[in-house]
Amino acid sequence: MQTIRYELIDAAGGKVAQITFDEANSPVNTMCRQWQDDLAEVTAKVLADRANLKGIVLASAKSSFFAGADLKATMRLTPDDAPAVFAEIERMKKQFRTLETLGIPVVACLNGAALGGGWEVALVAHYRIAVNDPKIQFGLPEVTLGLMPGATGVTKMTRLLGLLGAQPYILEGKLFNPAEALELQLVHELVATPDQLLPAALARIAAHPQAMQPWDDKNYKMPGGTPANPKIAGALTVAPAMLKKTTRGRYPAPEAALAAMAEGALVDYDTALRIESRYLARLMTTPVARNMINTFFFDMNAIKSGKSRPAGAPRFKPQKVGILGAGMMGAGIAWSQASRGIATVLKDVSVDKAEAGKAYSAKLTQARVDKGRMTPDAQQALLARITPTASAADLAGCDLIIEAVFENRELKAKVTQEAEPQLAPGGFFASNTSTLPISGLATASSKPEKFIGIHFFSPVDKMKLVEIIRGKATDDETVARAFDYVQALGKVPIVVNDSRGFYTSRTFGTFVMEGAAMLGEGIPAAVIENAAMQAGLPVGPLAVLDETALTLSVHVMEQTRADYAAEGKTYTATPGELLVERMVKELNRPGRAGGGGFYDYPAGAKKHLWPELRTLFEKPDAPWSVQEIQDRLLYRQAVETARCLAEGVLTSTHDANIGSIFGIGFPAWTGGAMQFIYGMGVDNFLRRADELAARHGAGFAVDAKVREAIEKFRPVY
């Protein structure tokens, strides 16, 4: 066997079979085809030795227990494969069922993580022993990949925790550590070190020579009751509607998992397993599953492993970082640094303003103290790491200084030249600009090769993505150090090359301006906003414009016009940009912060669309359909993303997909802006883009260079 080792251990009165998972040439154990074949073979060995066996131990030779399904194989599946997938799942479950119904104890030794299919392997055991390490994670995160637990996970977790108790772990993919598992009674014993696992397992087998799963006991009752219980029935009545409100019908996995839970609870255990298998086989062959696996597993792992980081540069661990500007962005960056143990100097034009920026961290920490998630001592230690100041001299010795001042070139140049001399030897300087080209800002630096863009998203304490922008002069070491800095904050870095708006702001602009353009064409604002959310976008384009401030969009456009003029060119504003400019300059609607934009914000009441939009813009005879609106919003961003690849602003699809989802809210069910193209099928996408270009303009046009880039970056599995 290539993935499993089988040996017999002498025990009191007989033998104990130790089944050790050890997939050859792999850092982790997976449910690959070879493992499934080996599982059948090892089960046959157990049956042959059954007369002499006192128990079975499940163990791992890897640093983790078991990683789960072979996702590369899943990526190659098509709907035609569903019957074969169902048969494979049922075959694997047959081996599981054989091992757990022999009447002898099966004990799992959990030396490390057991996620997805790995946790389902652990659930084969009657008794689970884990190393008490809070960094170890258990659980069923399949729903985050467009799948559901289908190798007994839904059925067993429902029977162990009840229909209501199991929902967070199945429908939300909530994970838990060994101590939490013990509290949930999903793990039965904790040990201090991996070396203690096997002795503890053998002791358990010796003390309890007989074992069965809880649901095989004739006296078993499901915790909380079955759907026949009025309380459970009432909860299940509203659950699908609540789920649909969250998924908007775009994510089939949680809906399938809920159905499998409810239907399985009404029947016997073995029938419940078949129900679960059918739902999983269907999900595994859907485009949504492929999209989400591609991005949230393969693309995310590519970024975490540093594929976008220049190779060879030594690792950088920030010790002291300065921030220029204590406004919303600067205050958020200060919090992110201090919460990760980094000494932070927060500078503004006055100590009062710098103190106000530090107060943001005090507010966030106090909320955690009030909820019992942080001790007062930890709060004070975190706040002590932030030094508010108005003096540039306090920046002396910083490894990195980040300017987060207003989007004005002259101001940014001034603070750069004031602060840069305070850097420690070998230190580097960064701008948090969201739109201004880094190469232009770097002209104010004495060392443009050590100048880089580090673009955070607001609110910084909640947004995981950070866009790193390499200027024309930025060297590899500076890019690598910026990458390490972002990872030190626990955030997700993408690396892009310099251009106006970089990747995220540039593409985000196409989304919101397409929405504004549709309003200008006479399409009702409510239709635009609701169609966007039904497509899986977090909010509509008009609401986003209000939150980010229409005045900011106008400022960016004016800066672009000025830059074009300086180059002897004329900038032609898009219909959406012109409408936003009219909202600000003619209609005095600057956005939420200025009292109102596309929406009104009455005190103490829910926001609502500004009634005058109907009078000013809506045309009763304007042609529209929900599908057309959704296509315009999604295709416009996807086309711009492909253009960024063709122009070299982006250099990988993993940065494109992760950046589009975590930076600008592109719907997760698509797998991101580039995966949206590949998931649709390149030919289908190009055909539809041509149709949209013919009706709605050059923003949707895909030229030969862009088509070539789409083909060049097409993923292969």
Residues 670 and 564: their CA atoms lie apart, in Å, by: 35
Backbone angles phi, psi at 658, to 5 degrees: -65, -40
142 is catalytic: yes
Each residue of 191-220: pLDDT tens digit? 999 999 999 999 999 999 999 999 999 999
Which of 161, 160, 140 lies closest to 149, judged by CA? Answer: 140
38 pLDDT tier (thresholds 50, 70, 90)? very high
Confidence band for 523, pLDDT divided at 50, 70 and 90? very high
The pLDDT tens digits for 70-93 are: 898 899 999 999 999 999 999 999
| Residue 231 clears pLDDT 90, i.e. is over it | no
Query: Which range (22-26, 226-230, 343-347, 646-650) has the least confidence?
Result: 226-230
Contact (Cβ atoms closer than 8 angstroms) between residue 118 and residue 68: yes
Residue 24: pLDDT over 90: yes
Structure tokens at 337: 């640094």
DSSP string, 400-453: EEEE---S-HHHHHHHHHHHGGGEEEEEEEEE--SSS-HHHHGGGSS-GGGEEE
Distances (CA, A) of 512 to 220, 553, 583, 589, 594: 56, 10, 14, 16, 19
At 626, the pLDDT band (50, 70, 90 cuts) reads very high
Find the helix packing angle between 153-161 and 252-264, rounded to 10°.
60
pLDDT digits 0-9 by tens, 233-273: 888 888 888 888 888 889 999 999 999 999 999 999 999 99
Catalytic residue among 88, 120, 189, 420: 120
Q: Give the chain's domains with CATH numbers.
A: 4-285 (3.90.226.10), 320-499 (3.40.50.720), 505-648+652-712 (1.10.1040.50)
Among the residue ranges 322-326, 408-412, 447-451, the one predicted with the least confidence is 408-412
Q: How many CB atoms lie within 10 A of CB 570?
A: 8
CA angle, 23 then 28 then 30, to 5°: 65
Q: What pLDDT does residue 256 have?
A: 96
Residues comprising the chain, all counted: 717
Instruction: Give the C-alpha separation, 98 to 105, whole Å.
Output: 12
> How much is the pLDDT for 134?
96
Q: Which amino acid is at 115?
A: L
Q: Which two tokens stand for residue 77?
A: 């599946």
pLDDT band for position 17 (50/70/90)? very high
Mean pLDDT over all residues of the chain?
95
Name the amino acid, one letter, at 137.
Answer: Q
Give the pLDDT band (50/70/90) at residue 11: confident
Q: Compute the distance between CA of residue 116 and CA of residue 118 in angstroms, rounded to an integer.
A: 5
**Average pLDDT of span 360-369:** 96
DSSP state of 637: H
- CA distance to 267, 679, 685, per residue, from 691 (Å): 50, 19, 10
pLDDT at 12 > cutoff 80: no
Asked whether residue 362 carries a pLDDT value surpassing 80, the answer given is yes
Summarize the confidence of residues 459-483 as an average pLDDT.
97
- Listed in sequence order, the residues at least 6 apart from 170 whose beta carbon sits closer than 8 Å to its beta carbon are 140, 143, 148, 149, 153, 154, 157, 158, 257, 261
Lowest mean per-residue pLDDT among 108-122, 559-573, 640-654: 559-573
The rounded percent of the chain whose pLDDT value lies above 90 is: 91
333 and 404 Cβ atoms separated by less than 8 Å: yes
Average pLDDT of span 174-179:
98
What pLDDT is recorded for position 563?
A: 86
How many Å apart are CA 227 and CA 590, to the nearest integer?
52
Q: How many alpha carbons lie under 13 Å from residue 256 in its C-beta half-sphere?
A: 23
Peptide bond into 199 cis (omega under 30): no
* Amino acid symbol at 262: A
pLDDT at residue 153 is higher than 80 = yes
Show the tokens assigned to 580: 């936003």
User: Can you tell me the distance from the alpha carbon of 37 to that of 2, in angstroms, rounded to the nearest whole number?
Assistant: 10
CA dihedral over 439, 442, 446, 449, signed as positive or negative = negative
Which tens digits make up the pLDDT trace of 552-606?
899 889 988 988 998 899 999 999 999 999 999 999 999 999 999 999 999 999 9
Q: What are phi and psi of 575, to 5 degrees?
A: -55, -40
User: Does the annotation count 120 as an active-site position?
Assistant: yes
**Tokens standing for residue 641:** 């993303």
Mean pLDDT over 394-410 rounds to 94
Whether 14 shows a pLDDT value over 90: the answer reads: no
* Whole-number Å distance between alpha carbons of 248 and 616: 31
Residue 122: both structure tokens together: 């652990």
Q: What is the DSSP string of 454-481?
A: EEE-SSTTT--EEEEEE-SS--HHHHHH
Task: Dig out the tokens for 710 from the structure.
Answer: 């789409």
CA-closest candidate to residue 575, choices 510, 486, 499, 531: 510
Query: CA-to-CA distance for 665 and 682, rounded, in angstroms?
Result: 22
- Convert the pLDDT of each residue in 42-72 to its tens digit: 999 999 999 999 999 999 999 999 998 889 8
Choice among 23, 100, 142, 467 that is catalytic? 142
Q: Is the pLDDT of residue 13 over 80?
A: no
CA nearest 438: which of 465, 413, 420? 413
In this structure, are residues 101 and 95 in contact, taking their beta carbons and an 8 Å threshold? no
Average confidence (pLDDT) over 277-296 = 96
> Which residues is 130 bridged to in the sheet?
110, 190
436 touches 559 (CB < 8 A): yes
Give 673's pLDDT tier (boundaries 50, 70, 90).
very high
